[in-house]
A and B are shown apart, each in its own frame.
Chain A
Amino acid sequence: MTYNPDYPENTPPPDTGINNVRTNFSTYATIFSNNHVALNANNQGKHSNVILQQVSDPSVEGGFDALYSNVASTNLGATLEIFAKIPQFLSLDKPNNPEQLTFHTVNTAGPVYQSFLPGGYLLFFGQVTQIAQVNPPVIPIVVTLSPVPTEILCVIANSTNVIGTSTTWGQPMSVNVINNSQFQINPTGIVLVNHIIPWIAIAKQ
């Protein structure tokens, strides 16, 4: 059975086309139950889930926002993500680009944890442990990010305090980006064994 918006047809007369009318009512109810609470059920018409089929960026002019899915360009290739588009309210030199709300993967297992920020940014965070007690010169610690982003934009390693089993004060840190997937934490001065150094990084997807 398929829905036909042209039913009932002019010919044959509707009394013989009654099955077509019934087909339309039945088919509509079945289709409506996709993504919606079914007709005649409690809360009928509300959404039970939303499957977003890929579309191109919509035009948003007026009092509404749009949520949709479209392909995003990432260092890993094109991936399907959820976007929001809001009405432009700034001057036109600040373009109202679609706001990418999701990234298709997260890492909750660590040790390099990863989530995402709106706008196509990846948020990485974690902690590293200084494994060697070294009197200067100290040994840098290299962190490798996964998934590999396009560009590392910002890295913060705890530069004022070090959390660990020792009661000694934390040591200052500096960081430098090696490439698009790695950065280096450079403790300054003496960093004791088992000192933990928290870090956070933001990258372009």
Chain B
Amino acid sequence: MTQPTDPTPPPYNTQIPEPDTTIANAQTLFQNNFERLFEAFNTDHVPLIDAINPGNHNVIQLVELPIGEATQSQEIAIYSKKVDGQTDQLFMRYQGNGKEFQLTQYQIYALPILQLNGVIYQKGYFTFLPGGIIVYFGQVIPFGNPFFISLEPAICGNILGINLCPIGGIGSGLVQSNVSLTAINGKFNAIQLTSTSTNANQYYIAFGNI
């Protein structure tokens, strides 16, 4: 009868060799540790046996930390931390346990082109800036006055700035606009645009935070 093999190799052992162990007796233990060290180092790194760049990184997987990493002088830390209502985001902290700021925000995805009866009325995009700032931008082709510029995703509790610019040739700049904000459950989902000219196409940029 054959003995069942253990599919799980022994873990890395920090306690070998013991003072009274001979090298010969510790051979297996040494070998196991070198194998485990090799396997562990393979995570995120170019393998130890790579002929060209051993030790470089091929990816950095940042495991979620419960609190921000502390830093000493001449150190900058980058780490991941859970954001309420979202997922793990990247954070940074400057040297000397300085200010922490959020490097990434939310989840970027392509917004659909908005149409009514087959006519495009908004091409919108969004991204973020370090510090947790959401940036909405794009182009609107209003079909009414007032007209609502969609702010998708509607995640900002504060809109920090809005800028508009009429689209068109000479003379188009005479369009004047007023804006106000609409919100659902405290999150702004649209800019209400009222213009002196109905159907005035405009570019827009808006900044907000959650």
A4 to B166, alpha carbons, bound, how many Å? 67
A64 to B78, alpha carbons, bound, how many Å? 12
Q: Is the CB of A94 within 8 A of B109?
A: yes
Q: Is residue A66 within 8 Å, beta carbon to beta carbon, of the partner chain?
A: yes
A109 partner residues in chain B, CB cutoff 8 A: none
Set A3, A46, A86, A157: member contacting B107, Cβ < 8 A: A86
Query: Knowing A63-B88, A176-B168 touch, does A121 contact B34 (C-beta < 8 A)?
Result: no
A121 partner residues in chain B, CB cutoff 8 A: 125, 127
A179 to B35, alpha carbons, bound, how many Å? 58
Shortest Cβ distance from B56 into A: residue: A51
Within 8 A of B (CB), among A155-185: 155-157, 159, 171-176, 184
Q: Is the CB of A5 within 8 A of B173?
A: no
Q: How many chain-B residues does the 8 Å CB contact rule pick out?
A: 69
A153 to B140, alpha carbons, bound, how many Å? 11
Q: Is residue B116 within 8 Å, beta carbon to beta carbon, of the partner chain?
A: no
A33 partner residues in chain B, CB cutoff 8 A: 55
Query: Knowing A5-B49, A28-B48, A87-B87 touch, does A36 contact B55 (C-beta < 8 A)?
Result: yes
Within 8 A of B (CB), among A126-151: 137-138, 140
Kindly specify which of B22-30, B141-149, B179-187 makes contact with the partner chain.
B22-30
Q: Is the CB of A65 within 8 A of B167?
A: no
Within 8 A of B (CB), among A73-88: 84, 86-88
| Mask of B22-54 contacts with A, CB within 8 angstroms, 1/0 | 011011001100110111010001101100011
Q: Is the CB of B165 within 8 A of A155?
A: yes
Q: Is the CB of B107 within 8 A of A156?
A: no
A34 to B75, alpha carbons, bound, how many Å? 17
Shortest Cβ distance from A32 into B: residue: B55
A35 to B57, alpha carbons, bound, how many Å? 8
Set B45, B59, B163, B167: member contacting A68, Cβ < 8 A: B59
A110 partner residues in chain B, CB cutoff 8 A: none
Q: Is the CB of B54 within 8 A of A7?
A: no
Q: Is residue A106 within 8 Å, beta carbon to beta carbon, of the partner chain?
A: no
Query: Knowing A27-B48, A187-B173 touch, does A159 contact B23 (C-beta < 8 A)?
Result: no
Q: Is residue A90 within 8 Å, beta carbon to beta carbon, of the partner chain?
A: yes
| Mask of A45-64 contacts with B, CB within 8 angstroms, 1/0 | 01000111101001000011
Q: Is the CB of A3 within 8 A of B38?
A: yes
A24 to B38, alpha carbons, bound, how many Å? 10
Q: List 12 A-B contacts (CB under 8 A).
A: A14-B27, A18-B23, A35-B45, A35-B57, A64-B61, A68-B59, A96-B109, A118-B104, A156-B203, A157-B165, A172-B176, A176-B172
